[in-house]
Structure 1
Amino acid sequence: MYVLVMRHGEAGWHSIDQERELTEAGRKGCALVARQIARSPWRPREIWSSPLVRARQTAAIVSEILNCRVAEKPFLTPDDDPGLCLDSLLEEPPASRLMIVSHMPLVGALSTLLVDGHRHGIPFMTSQAVALDMPVVGPGCADLKAQFLP
């Protein structure tokens, strides 16, 4: 299974956290990264998205470029436990190539959990994505294969 983990695009600060929307630069950054992924062997078949506005907008942009469906998942908000996402991957196996669109600190903690088996978290820029090869779903079972930057 290939898993792409992506942080949402740049969002404005003019509203409460759950309602923050992408800026024009955020929309462009998401599209740029999606076009890079479209040319890669890690192109996803499905996207799991946080229900927060900026992540939904990011997933919609990426979905349009990559032509794949989006499913909102309630366990992908910024402060959720990455273990909930891992549990869902085990319980509800997705397509063989999945993209997860979420927020910091979750994207950093989830990527670190999948690659290194701990939850300390690595930093992610807005619109950044990483491709992980995970032959077996579990902590420390993934290898970082590629990084996509806006």
Structure 2
Amino acid sequence: MKLYLVRHTHAVSDAENPVRPLSPKGREVALGMGRWLRGNAAADITEVWHSPLVRARETAELLVEGARLKVRLREAAGLLPEDEVSAMATALGRHGDSLVIVGHEPHLGLLAGRLLGIEVGGVDFKKGAVLCLERILRGAPWTLLWHVSPRLVLGQE
């Protein structure tokens, strides 16, 4: 199983729109990261989970569009920025198919840290970054395969 953790891309400011949809730049980056996934990693993805916040849902939709995935998008509980990571880590322990999770900091960084056995802190996620973990069997430890940012992949942040 592969797990792709994705931080949402750039959203408009709270002053512009309190719902905080993606900015034009954020939409462009999400599509670009999806295209990159299509060429590098998307073949095994069966499902995409996202937080209830608009910026995460829109990032997930554009990522799926860019990667040309034919998968189900699902709003998942436990993915808000300040949510505890234990429940999501437990749910992933039971999950067997490769999936994408689109969420927020600090939650994603702490979740990645928990899955990798990092006791203090976690992994830093730039907006639009994708981190890929792999586990050979259910219950086996997770391994970090790669972590890319929009700057590395697209030449922009």
User: Structure 2 length as normaliser, TM-score?
Assistant: 0.83
RMSD of equivalent CA atoms: 1.9
Moved over 2 A (4+): 116-119, 135-138
Corresponding residue SS for 1:11 = coil
Cα distance, 1:134–1:117 mapped onto 2, change above 3 Å: farther
* Pairwise CA distance, 1:41: 3.5
Matched with 2:146 is 146
Distance (Å, rounded) in 2 between the aligned partners of 1:42 and 1:118: 30
Q: How does 1:36-75 map to 2 (within 5 A)?
A: 36-43=36-43, 44-66=45-67, 67=69, 68-75=71-78
Aligned length: 145
Cα contact 1:89–1:137 (8 A) shared by 2? no
The match for 1:3 is 3
* 5+ residue gaps, structure 1: none
Distance 2:138 2:110 in 1: 16
Gaps of 5+ in 2: 151-157
- TM-score normalized by structure 1? 0.87
- How far has the Cα of 1:147 moved from its partner? 2.1
Which of 52, 77, 84 is residue 87 of structure 2 equivalent to?
A: 84
Distance 1:45 1:119, change over 3 A: farther
Is the aligned partner of 1:101 residue 2:102? yes
CA–CA distance in 2 between the matches of 1:38 and 1:82? 28
Greater C-alpha radius of gyration: 2
Question: 1:66-88 CA deviation, whole Å, 9 max, x = no partner?
Answer: 32221110211111111111122
